[in-house]
Chain A
Amino acid sequence: MLVSLNWLKNYVDIGEISPEQLAEKVTKSGIEVESVEYVAEKSENVVVGYVQSCEKHPNADKLNLCQVDTGEETLQIICGAPNIAQGQKVAVAKPGAVLPGNFKIKKVKLRGVESNGMICSLQELGIEEKYVPKEFAEGIFVFPEDVTVGESVEPLLNLNDAVLEFELTPNRADCLSMLGVAYEVAALLDQPLQLPSEEVEVTDEDAADYIKVEVEAKDLNPYYGAFVIKDIEVKDSPLWMKNHLIAAGIRPINNVVDITNFVMLEYGQPLHAFDYDRLQSENIVVRRAKDGEKLVTLDEQERTLSEEHLVITDGEKPVALAGVMGGLDTEVHEKTKTVLLEAAYFESSAVRKAVKDTGLRSESSTRFEKGIDPNRVREAGQRACQLLTQYAGGKVLANVVESDQIDRTEKKINLVTSEVNKRLGTEITAEDIADIFRKLRFHFEQDLEEFIVYAPTRRGDITIFEDLLEEIARVYGYDNLPFTLPEGEAQAGALTETQQLKRDVKRYLQSAGLMETITYSLTSSAKISQLISPEIQNLDPQAVALSMPMSEDHKYLRLSLLPELLSTISYNQARNQTDLFYFELGKIFVSQEKMITSQPSEQLRVSGALSGKWMEHPWQQEKKEVDFYVVKGIMEGLFNYLKLPVSFKKGTIPQMHPGRSAVILINGKEVGFIGQVHPALQKESGLKDTYVFDVNMEEVIAEHSAVPSYSQIPKYPSISRDIAFIMDKQIPAGDVKQTIVELGAPLVKQVNIFDVYQGENIGENKKSVAYSLVYQHPDKTLTDEEVEESYTNILHNVNEKYDAYVRS
């Protein structure tokens, strides 16, 4: 809402306060003033001039030579505007004048003839092109005859008016009108309010003889008033009205249109003028549209309507889409003589639906959508009639033809002073409260500490006690509220075990050298099926899509964090960023429903993607690219840190390198995978060799116990034995390790692989794997015999099971 201060001054005296100070005051009391602008940049020395004569320039066809009386002197000015004529009153920039853009006017010679100034267009005076009335758009501006020659143009054209842009929250629809703004400003400045008169002289004729009004859809249209105005003369509206409209951001058209716009801005009540003679009947019927019914609107577009829309009809066919736009066939035009003026209350739901379906959003529909004041509908119609009488020669017929079921009562709200103070934490007196309601012009009854407040209908946002609380607080000033802390019993805050665990996992990965990332949860159709962990894939998850995505890139709820992580890797690699070790902790969304009806299960995962040099010593020729074992080491470290028994088994995971990936198991349960991204996918995604991990955090959380059980630190010495087996190359070294662990239990506390060898001396397709075993007994020192017995047993059984023999 653009608020012209010169316009506002008609209703409330704002005194000496500057536009910026007023903006600050309004902002602090709840309506953000987005900007303070002036209608035009400053100009100096521009006055009204009278064109005494206007002749062709002797040396130029398109120029005119004018003698212009500026009051003090007569100036010879050359003017190139096509609409210049003798007898006009025009805006003259005298020599020495300064126009917007710091354009200085000097005496010049044009084609050998002297020109002592410039006759200005509105654009040259700083008014935005889009607000300039069409008749003056291509030439100079011409004043009405009643202006005085020599008078300064700036105030006449309202060029020095300050305009405040109000950024309205949805509850403050009352300030979509100058009167609403006036109420607000009058309250803030504690100034009297001067409301406009709605008095109108009427003829002896009765409007009821001209029109019948019938509302079928009373639920959507509780009030419809039709005024009939005869003898209209469509012409220019008065200069002051044009000035107000331009300042409010509306281009003046003609007096009838301008008056309906002016009253809409003044009262917040949209009005519509029909050309009475173009209506096909003497009936107005308001009803729901029929499915498929058509209407050509003012913008010459054919609209197809449905039963959800409300239309004004002539009894047969629609003549307007209620509250949104009138029909082309009944539009007021230059020759219009009789106007049927509609002042109606349309329910916001009906208008909202029509706006949504047609895409037509107008000043009118916006006001209906946000809700208008039932006590200003008829009144706005009367105000418009008054102005039509005054500025369009109209004769208003007696009586407004109405269908009226509207509720105009003010809602009663009880309020007790002590409750106000209890809620706000203040010590406001009943007198202060009464004073606040007086400033706001809310009617109220007071009995000592108790109030009955009548919420004004212009303030549709005020319905309950808490709404009044806000009014009291904002007029009292939020700045004046004390600073306190809640007095309720203190309670200790803490992270839950799960929240702490999540932080621990992040800290571990960061200290292991990984950078945390956050990627988008919404992904593309290509990525939705990529790199889904086997244990999720087993659930047969269905891709869940948004019903109206903004882009194809962000359409599906992700089933894996990896595809977006890989995109960040390739994004960085494309920008010459190498050595990327990324992880993310985030949710995937698993639904097993073909047609989704309930919330998907949201599962937390921790995933990582690593690519580049894991380690490079700058001068010692040590260099290590990220590989499977780097990632596996990070995972082993993680689960070791979390004290969870982890194992890995070779696995086939789609889009992963078949020979370099493994499934991760905790306590024998699959919880994710690690490995290298399949070279085909790497190529397709523009990735260098990239290794990933993906772990189901829900399982980690479930398996993790926050308090580790205490285990005695061993008192008795341990005994180490090393053993190297030569075995078939295909046998997983980890399987043999597992067998040793099982055979050695309970004396073998630890088994580590410390050497793997393939090559000469041990035969083709063979490898040698060296294990170190640590024996320990909790309660005594082991004897050599005990260890030897176990060791021999292990040798024997591993040999039987794997055909592996000891390397001598």
Chain B
Amino acid sequence: MKEQLETIKQEALGRIVSADELKELQDIKVAYLGKKGSLTSVLRGMGKLSKEERPIIGELANEVRETITTALEEKGQKLEELALEKQLEEEAIDVTLPGRPVNVGGEHLLTKIVEEIEDLFIGMGYEVREGPEVETDYYNFEALNLPKGHPARDMQDTFYVTNELLMRTHTSPVQARTMKEFDGDQSVKMICPGKVYRRDTDDATHSHQFTQIEGLYVGKDVRMSDLKGTLDQFAKKMFGKDREIRLRPSFFPFTEPSVEMDISCKVCNGQGCSVCKGTGWIEILGAGMVHPNVLEMAGYDPKVYTGFAFGMGPERIAMLKYGVNDIRQFYTNDKRFLKQYHNA
């Protein structure tokens, strides 16, 4: 029986070595260790053995079984590894082929600029306010120290709807409305972005519809130097911390003193170039100390309250910052234009 067992062992091990599929191993397992397997049938003949022989053969048989089982397991593991390797090889793809495209949207350049300015002033403690685009003559002009017949009304050619209703020519009426709402005894700290309209023929530098952002700060003891400091912070955050600002006297009916703000030209660093027309400076916005008539009309006592206001055009800022050279581009919505500034 010993020889028999040895033969089974050698034969089984031989078959295991030459097996190259998991299925084969399964067959081997059945053929030798299964209920009808050869090892099992050998063991079944153990009953005929002597008492002395039995343990010896039993031990031997166990050893054969274990050897075969271990060999099967080892080989099985190896074959599994090989199979996985093969599968992975088959699953390999060409990583250089293009991926599945995703539609990417984006914001309009003007929205980007407006939100940037909003966030900047929110960071300085301002609120964002909005107002109607169809305004009354009162809020668009009269409340801003532009009574009927005032020559400065000619500065802004207006789209009228009726004698009393018009398309707002600036976002300043929101200032007047906010102050009136605050009823003359609270400080005001706000910016108001929005669409405005002028009776212009559309061309590269004019648009009958454009965007404006105005800011207003009213409080006790607000100084003109506060306006200068605020505008300086704005300019440095918006255009870069190495930009300088320059204020020049100007005229707006709703402010006195009035200011025009320039920033030093980024292209030439103030040396003078074609972008700044040789001056080294670029005009960015208008501002000033709120005119006492405006405060008074909104219910504020100009002896107690003073303030400053400023107004700027996001289109102009976009044109300066991104080199857009035709204002109509903002409203034509050419896909090639819109795409250029996504995530700019």
In the complex, chain A residues whose CB is within 8 Å of the CB of B233:
485
0/1 string, B217-245, CB within 8 A of A gives 1: 10111111110111011000000000000
Known: A172-B251, A488-B222. 20 other contacts (CB 8 A): A30-B248, A170-B154, A349-B149, A423-B289, A426-B225, A473-B224, A479-B247, A482-B229, A488-B220, A506-B107, A509-B105, A510-B105, A515-B342, A521-B195, A522-B159, A571-B334, A581-B103, A596-B162, A599-B135, A602-B134
0/1 string, B330-344, CB within 8 A of A gives 1: 111111101100100
B136 at interface, CB cutoff 8 A: yes
CB < 8 Å neighbour of B189 from A172, A493, A583, A614? A493
Beta-carbon contact of B161 and A596 below 8 Å: yes
In the complex, chain B residues whose CB is within 8 Å of the CB of A602:
132-134
Interface-forming stretch among A289-297, A326-334, A461-469, A774-782? A461-469
Beta-carbon contact of B97 and A619 below 8 Å: yes
Beta-carbon contact of B229 and A474 below 8 Å: no
- Provide the bound-state CA to CA distance between A169 and B248, in Å: 13
- Provide the bound-state CA to CA distance between A473 and B256, in Å: 11
CB < 8 Å neighbour of B225 from A370, A481, A517? A481
**A residues 436-493 touching B (CB-CB < 8 Å):** 464, 466-467, 469-470, 473-474, 478-479, 481-493
B35 to chain A, nearest CB (A): 40
CB < 8 Å neighbour of B223 from A425, A478, A503, A582? A425
User: Assuming A466-B289, A473-B224, A515-B339, is B247 touching A481 (CB within 8 A)?
Assistant: yes
A162 to chain B, nearest CB (A): 16
User: Assuming A482-B228, A547-B162, A617-B100, is B208 touching A522 (CB within 8 A)?
Assistant: yes
- Provide the bound-state CA to CA distance between A440 and B244, in Å: 29
**A residues 493-525 touching B (CB-CB < 8 Å):** 493-496, 499, 503, 506, 509-522
0/1 string, B247-261, CB within 8 A of A gives 1: 111110000111110
0/1 string, A594-636, CB within 8 A of B gives 1: 0011111010000000000011111110100000000000000
In the complex, chain B residues whose CB is within 8 Å of the CB of A492:
125
B122 at interface, CB cutoff 8 A: yes
A572 at interface, CB cutoff 8 A: yes
In the complex, chain B residues whose CB is within 8 Å of the CB of A575:
334
- Interface size bracket, A side: 35 or more
Beta-carbon contact of B189 and A515 below 8 Å: no
User: Assuming A423-B306, A491-B189, A575-B334, is B224 touching A481 (CB within 8 A)?
Assistant: yes
In the complex, chain A residues whose CB is within 8 Å of the CB of B128:
495-496, 499
**A residues 320-353 touching B (CB-CB < 8 Å):** 348-349, 352
Beta-carbon contact of B110 and A518 below 8 Å: yes
B291 at interface, CB cutoff 8 A: yes
- Provide the bound-state CA to CA distance between A515 and B233, in Å: 32
Majority SS at the chain B contact face: mixed
B181 to chain A, nearest CB (A): 14
B180 at interface, CB cutoff 8 A: no
A554 at interface, CB cutoff 8 A: yes
- Provide the bound-state CA to CA distance between A157 and B318, in Å: 47
CB < 8 Å neighbour of B200 from A28, A499, A550, A581? A550
Beta-carbon contact of B257 and A470 below 8 Å: yes
B55 at interface, CB cutoff 8 A: no
B32 at interface, CB cutoff 8 A: no
In the complex, chain B residues whose CB is within 8 Å of the CB of A484:
223, 225-226, 228-229
User: Assuming A491-B189, A557-B134, is B247 touching A478 (CB within 8 A)?
Assistant: yes
B65 at interface, CB cutoff 8 A: no
A9 to chain B, nearest CB (A): 25
Beta-carbon contact of B292 and A464 below 8 Å: yes
B16 to chain A, nearest CB (A): 45
**B residues 300-344 touching A (CB-CB < 8 Å):** 306, 330-336, 338-339, 342
- Provide the bound-state CA to CA distance between A511 and B136, in Å: 38
A801 at interface, CB cutoff 8 A: no
In the complex, chain B residues whose CB is within 8 Å of the CB of A580:
335
- Provide the bound-state CA to CA distance between A487 and B187, in Å: 12
Residues in chain A within 8 A of chain B (CB atoms): 27-30, 32, 169-172, 348-349, 352, 369-370, 422-426, 464, 466-467, 469-470, 473-474, 478-479, 481-496, 499, 503, 506, 509-522, 544-550, 554, 557, 568, 571-572, 575, 577, 580-583, 587, 589, 596-600, 602, 614-620, 622
Beta-carbon contact of A470 and B249 below 8 Å: yes
- Provide the bound-state CA to CA distance between A572 and B155, in Å: 35
Interface size on B, residues (CB 8 A): 88
B137 to chain A, nearest CB (A): 11
In the complex, chain B residues whose CB is within 8 Å of the CB of A548:
159-160, 199
Beta-carbon contact of A513 and B162 below 8 Å: no
Beta-carbon contact of B162 and A597 below 8 Å: yes
CB < 8 Å neighbour of B331 from A28, A483, A519, A547? A519
B26 at interface, CB cutoff 8 A: no
CB < 8 Å neighbour of B199 from A512, A550, A596? A550
6 closest A-B pairs by beta carbon, nearest first, are A425-B225, A513-B103, A30-B249, A470-B257, A169-B251, A425-B223
A620 to chain B, nearest CB (A): 8
In the complex, chain A residues whose CB is within 8 Å of the CB of B159:
522, 546, 548-550
- Provide the bound-state CA to CA distance between A479 and B225, in Å: 10
- Provide the bound-state CA to CA distance between A469 and B167, in Å: 33
B324 to chain A, nearest CB (A): 13
- Provide the bound-state CA to CA distance between A544 and B167, in Å: 12
B165 at interface, CB cutoff 8 A: yes
- Provide the bound-state CA to CA distance between A32 and B259, in Å: 12
30 intermolecular pairs with C-beta atoms under 8 Å apart? A30-B248, A169-B250, A170-B151, A171-B251, A422-B223, A425-B224, A426-B225, A470-B249, A479-B247, A481-B228, A484-B228, A489-B187, A491-B125, A491-B189, A493-B122, A499-B128, A516-B106, A518-B331, A518-B333, A521-B195, A548-B199, A550-B200, A568-B332, A571-B334, A583-B105, A589-B133, A597-B162, A599-B132, A614-B103, A616-B101
